[in-house]
């Protein structure tokens, strides 16, 4: 009997080793980048969508109010029409990748070319870029252009939100020279009135997160590294990308931003803001603690967590059990994800599984105790 037990144990260990070798062989090649230039654009996205990031809308409005009406309108427009953070362009810039470098680079290029570098359209969607460039040459657009751009965007995984701004996108390209000048002026004013001081404040945190992530990468496999850096996201499809660039971001915390740098190279911005620090200067209660307390202060979200501590469930399964409409459940799950209380496992474009992130729930007790004492 002992011989059989030893044999089974040996085979089990061999199976684990083989499984680990398979995982290691499929690991993407990891690259690293750092720079406040990424946060320049992330901060604009957050300030124009504050509730999506758990930020107080009144404070975000206060920052935006430092600009003129025209500058506010331009930054709102560019935030809406940007397909993604301009990863490809920023990544190709020389160091230091800060706001001054971005503004200098924009100033050096013709005004009508600035939109091309800011919208970050993937190579596989170059037909849209070609159509937009044709609109810029014609200085006008028609219903055929609108239908084409809107339809193509609806085909994207996250394009539906941008599709509703298709007219604004086309209008900006039809007036590319004028809009390019307005964008540079607005970014200059935003930098001078707010972000210049902000980037001096956030860079030490970016560097700390950058160093910590690189050290962690030497000790654990990429799926585990990504799960920790993203605070609970597991994306199978991402791991099929041969090369991934990891970039710390202060303003994206606790969420992540994806983007394409090349055909087989993706960029991932991961949260770099410490859990005990608030995005709003002078705020006493840390953002992370406040988001968790708000999330669990709702009976529906507590019921969701109760289900998710027992098993992984899709959004549809949760909706049936809770008898909730899809938009309502999406709102609650987003609050839990923002608080870092759930795992999000993306199996495909259409299937997402949720599970309770128990270590984050336990960590909440410690954070509350530390804050109170």
Tell me the C-alpha distance between 70 and 60, whole Å: 17
The strand ranges marked E within 26-108 are 29-32
Supply φ then ψ for residue 136, to 5 degrees. Answer: -65, -40
Q: What pLDDT is attached to residue 23?
A: 47
List C-alpha distances in Å: 62 to 47, 59, 230, 284: 10, 5, 29, 19
Strands 29-32 and 265-271: unpaired
The answer to whether residues 99 and 36 touch, using CB atoms and an 8 Å cutoff, is: yes
> DSSP string covering 213-251, please?
HHHHHTTS-HHHHHHHHTTSEEETGGGGSSEEEEEEEST
Q: What pLDDT is attached to residue 200?
A: 94
What strand order describes the sheet that includes 243-249?
Answer: 29-32, 243-249, 265-271, 257-262
- Cβ contacts of residue 26 below 8 Å, gap of 6+? 239
Q: How far is CA 326 from the centre of its chain?
A: 23
Q: What pLDDT is attached to residue 105?
A: 95
Q: What pLDDT is attached to residue 282?
A: 79
Q: What pLDDT is attached to residue 159?
A: 59
Strands 243-249 and 342-346: unpaired
Q: Bridge-partner residues for 29, per DSSP?
A: 243
Sign of CA dihedral 51, 54, 58, 60: negative
pLDDT tens profile 205-230: 999 999 999 999 999 999 999 999 99
Q: What pLDDT is attached to residue 11?
A: 58
The answer to whether residues 244 and 229 touch, using CB atoms and an 8 Å cutoff, is: no
Task: Flag residues of the chain having pLDDT under 70.
Answer: 1-26, 122-124, 156-162, 237-239, 347-350
Q: What pLDDT is attached to residue 25?
A: 53
């Amino acid at each position: 009997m002992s011989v059989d037990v030893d044999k089974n144990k040996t085979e089990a260990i061999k199976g684990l080793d083989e499984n680990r070798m398979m995982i290691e062989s499929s690991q993407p090649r990891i690259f690293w980048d750092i720079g406040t230039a990424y946060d320049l654009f992330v901060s604009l996205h957050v300030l124009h969508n504050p509730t999506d990031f758990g930020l107080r809308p009144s404070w975000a409005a206060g920052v935006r109010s430092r600009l003129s009406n025209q500058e506010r309108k331009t930054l709102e427009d560019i935030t809406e029409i940007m397909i993604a953070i301009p990863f490809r362009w920023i990544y190709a810039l020389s160091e230091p990748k800060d706001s001054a470098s971005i503004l200098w680079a924009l100033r050096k290029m013709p005004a009508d070319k600035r939109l091309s570098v800011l919208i970050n359209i993937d190579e596989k969607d170059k037909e849209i870029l070609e159509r937009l460039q044709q609109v810029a040459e014609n200085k006008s657009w028609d219903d055929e252009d609108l239908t084409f751009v809107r339809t193509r965007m609806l085909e994207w995984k996250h394009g539906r939100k941008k599709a509703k701004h298709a007219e604004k996108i086309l209008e900006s390209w039809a007036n590319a020279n004028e809009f390019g000048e307005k964008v540079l002026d607005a970014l200059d004013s935003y930098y001078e009135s707010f972000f210049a001081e902000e980037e001096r404040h956030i860079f030490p945190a970016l560097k700390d997160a950058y160093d910590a992530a690189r050290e962690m990468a030497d000790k654990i496999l990429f799926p585990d590294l990504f799960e920790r850096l993203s605070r609970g996201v597991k994306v199978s499809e991402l791991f099929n990308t041969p090369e991934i660039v990891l970039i710390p971001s202060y303003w994206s915390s606790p969420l992540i931003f994806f983007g394409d740098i090349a055909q087989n190279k993706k960029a991932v911005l991961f949260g770099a803001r410490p859990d005990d620090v608030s995005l709003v200067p002078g705020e006493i209660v840390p953002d992370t603690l406040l988001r968790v307390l708000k999330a669990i202060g709702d009976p529906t979200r507590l019921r969701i967590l109760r289900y998710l501590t027992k098993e992984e469930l899709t959004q549809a399964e949760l909706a049936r059990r809770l008898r909730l409409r899809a938009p309502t459940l999406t709102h609650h799950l987003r609050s839990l994800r923002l608080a870092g209380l759930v795992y999000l496992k993306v199996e495909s474009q259409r299937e997402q599984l949720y599970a309770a992130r128990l270590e984050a729930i336990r960590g909440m007790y410690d954070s509350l105790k530390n804050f109170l004492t």
